[in-house]
Amino acid sequence: MFEQPLLQVKNVTKKYGAGCQKCAALHSEVMIKNYCPVCRTVYACRDVSFDLYSGEILGIVGESGSGKSTLMQCLYFDLETSSGEVYMESSEWQGENLFYLSAKQKRSIRNSKFGMVYQNPIHGLKMEYSAISNIGEKLIAAGNRNVKEMESIGNTLFREVEIPLFRSKEKPLHFSGGMQQRVQIAKALSNNPPILFLDEITTGLDLSVQANVLDVIKNIQVEYGVSMIVVSHDLAVIRMLADRTLVMLDGQVIEKGLTDQILEDPQHHFTQQLVYSLI
Amino acid sequence: MKLIRHFAYFDEGAKKEIRRATLKAVAIPGYQVPFASREVPIGRGWGTGGLQLTLSLIGKNDVLKVIDQGSDESVNAVSIKKLVQETTGVSCTDDTRKASIIQSRHRIPEVPLTKEQIIVLQVPEPEPLRDIEKSEHQTKILHAEEDYSGAWLQLFEQIMIIGSTTTHANHPVVVNNRYVMAPSPIPRFDNEKMHQSEALILLGAGREKKIYAVPPYTNVTSLAFDDYTFRVENFDGKACHLCNATDVFLDELVNEETGETYFQCNDSSYCLERLNKKTSREEVEVNV
């Protein structure tokens, strides 16, 4: 008996352009990487499928422009997908393709089931509002109307991500990059989402701060059992966090498997290149 | 050259377009209906939205009252009154009870309005979510998806930083359990007058080109958290120094010589009415 995946992603495609007969086939010969010179369509993500199980961390690696972030934004409903399906294990939306839900329903899923940490905190935080209000925003969106309760949830999370409480009422604008990132993580966690998306969360942070942020993530996973999808081009991050890993290139998944397996015994020549360039 | 002057300044087509937007606004309580805000002989931001509503509504038998921050005699109120009077010939009044259309800036009169009356409010910024989201395209989506976390967030931030909500005027309201609406910069004191109001409330923003409405007998609730309830301005133990009214919105004034503060009714016609009643009662007593 196999466990039911928490999130099933099937054939997600995001293209910019109409597409044509020449590039419709998956391994079309006319394509230059992910670009079709005939109809000038760019395939940001192409036919991506994977399952996410409860409590696991799934890593997605790939070079810049391979479609990692686009995939995350599609799953978080920031972008409209061109085609594909996504199913979530839940009493409410069982068996329904989430991409077909109304914008309002998607918003409700985003606010109650998902958490997102963007590469750039500007996208995930309201920089002009205090850190605690940023936590409040997510809780308000999920329907909470009790100030004291929201404040105490916020303070608990700040302790968790090591933000000193005496700075909780300051604007994230005045915080360092690492602190901003930790506020974002606290915000994403605020309503106990079963699924967390982490998009290049350590990029642009120095090594000691990186380690600190990764520690926080690892603790959270152990403590809350949240499933996470971690996008990174940094193999060290993937090695530390992810149980299973997908390798993306030109919008497509070229290899998937256990993280150790992929890092120790890469099959695809691009993965080999990626892994050996690290050492 | 023969100069044709239209009744109520606008040509019929213009009035028709404004009325059509108004009808839509009444049909969708709290929803901001875009309209082609026209040029009027006052500057944008000086009540052009309200004026356009008034001009499109007014008929020959109407009686108009215009108030500006509770005062019938402020420059803006007087010049709007003059313009409407000159282009329509209708009569104007200061008496809230006698008016059929009341155009107002920043106040709803103290005298309860009736179902025979329409109150037109001038609105500088119709979008309650504008501070949180600059793009009109985005705020329209937020309204459509009923995502009002931004409006709540502003109140939350005020509580976090200052300890209580600090909206003096323009405290956002939910109309008919659906749209969050800027009630125009009326004090919180007047928010409650919108709830189940007998009179039709129309709101016009000329510069922002929006008309919206609260139809009679509609539920209007001010945004408030469970543990930080909505409270109106508190005038406990204070009374108008002229007419001794206590249950009204008071202005705080300072006596420049002594430095003492004293209070006075903000609604000048209401105060005057009470004073007149008082003096006529006193005269009667003297005569007896």
Q: Chain A residues with CB inside 8 Å of B221's CB?
A: none
Length of chain A: 279
Q: What is the pLDDT of residue B4?
A: 66
pLDDT > 90 fraction of chain B, expressed in percent and rounded: 91
Q: Which of A104, A148, A151 sits opposite B146 (nearest CB)?
A: A104
Kindly tell me if the per-residue pLDDT of B1 is higher than 60.
no
CA distances from B13 to B6, B10, B58, B169 (A): 11, 8, 15, 35
- What would the two tokens of residue A54 be? 């409860």
Q: Chain A residues with CB inside 8 Å of B228's CB?
A: 147
* Average pLDDT in chain A: 91
Q: Which of A104, A129, A146 sits opposite B157 (nearest CB)?
A: A129
Shortest alpha-carbon distance between residue A186 and chain B (Å): 17
Kindly tell me if the per-residue pLDDT of B288 is higher than 80.
no
Q: Tell me the mean pLDDT in the region A70-99.
A: 93
Q: Tell me the mean pLDDT in the region A104-130.
A: 93
CB contact A133 to B (< 8 Å)? yes
Q: In this predicted model, what pLDDT tens digit does every residue of A199-222 receive, in sequence order?
A: 988 887 888 888 888 888 888 888
The yes-or-no answer on residue B30 being catalytic is yes
Q: What is the pLDDT of residue B284?
A: 72
Q: In this predicted model, what pLDDT tens digit does every residue of A4-62 receive, in sequence order?
A: 899 999 999 999 998 888 888 877 788 888 899 999 999 999 999 999 999 999 999 98
Q: What is the pLDDT of residue A1?
A: 52
Let me know: does B47 contact B122? Beta carbons within 8 Å.
Answer: yes
More confident residue, A26 or A190: A190
Q: Please tell me the CATH code under which domain A1-96+193-279 is placed.
A: 3.40.50.300
Q: In this predicted model, what pLDDT tens digit does every residue of B83-140 receive, in sequence order?
A: 999 999 999 999 999 999 999 999 999 999 999 999 999 999 999 999 999 999 999 9
The yes-or-no answer on residue B240 being catalytic is yes
Q: What is the pLDDT of residue B167?
A: 84
Kindly tell me if the per-residue pLDDT of A165 is higher than 90.
yes
Kindly tell me if the per-residue pLDDT of A279 is higher than 60.
no
Domains of chain B: 12-222 (3.40.50.11310), 234-288 (no CATH)
Q: Is the dihedral of CA B172, B174, B179, B183 positive or negative?
A: negative
> Starting at the edge strand that comes first in sequence, how are the strands of the sheet with B118-122 ordered?
B33-34, B210-214, B200-205, B118-122, B101-105, B63-68, B91-92
Which ipTM value was assigned to this complex? 0.87
Q: What is the pLDDT of residue A25?
A: 81
Kindly tell me if the per-residue pLDDT of A178 is higher than 70.
yes
Q: Chain A residues with CB inside 8 Å of B227's CB?
A: 146-148
Q: What is the pLDDT of residue B200?
A: 97
Confidence band of B217 (pLDDT split at 50, 70, 90): very high
Q: What is the pLDDT of residue A191?
A: 87
**Least confident segment among A128-142, A204-218, B6-20, B57-71:** A204-218
CB contact A104 to B (< 8 Å)? yes
Which residue pairs, CB below 8 angstroms and at least 24 apart, start in B278-281? B278/B243
Q: What is the pLDDT of residue A15?
A: 93
Dihedral of the CA atoms B52, B54, B59, B65 (nearest 10)?
-150
Helix axes A131-141, B149-162, angle to 10 degrees: 140
Q: What is the pLDDT of residue B33?
A: 98
The yes-or-no answer on residue B150 being catalytic is no
Confidence band of A92 (pLDDT split at 50, 70, 90): confident
Distance, in Å, from the CA atom of A73 to the CA atom of A103, rounded to the nearest integer, reads 15
Unique residue bearing structure tokens 């004293």: B262
The yes-or-no answer on residue B206 being catalytic is no
Distance, in Å, from the CA atom of A147 to the CA atom of A130, rounded to the nearest integer, reads 14
Distance, in Å, from the CA atom of A228 to the CA atom of A114, rounded to the nearest integer, reads 10
Let me know: does B277 contact B243? Beta carbons within 8 Å.
Answer: no
Tell me which of B132, B142, B158, B160 to substitute to probe the interface with A (most A C-beta atoms closer than 10 Å): B160
Confidence band of A223 (pLDDT split at 50, 70, 90): confident
CA distances from A38 to A24, A29, A250 (A): 11, 11, 17
Shortest alpha-carbon distance between residue A262 and chain B (Å): 42
Beta-carbon separation of A137 and B161 below 8 A: no
Q: What is the pLDDT of residue B85?
A: 94
Let me know: does A106 contact A168? Beta carbons within 8 Å.
Answer: no
By C-alpha distance, the chain B residue nearest A149 is: B227
**Range(s) for CATH 3.40.50.300 in chain A?**
1-96+193-279
- What would the two tokens of residue A144 be? 């909470």
Q: In this predicted model, what pLDDT tens digit does every residue of B275-284 receive, in sequence order?
A: 999 888 877 7
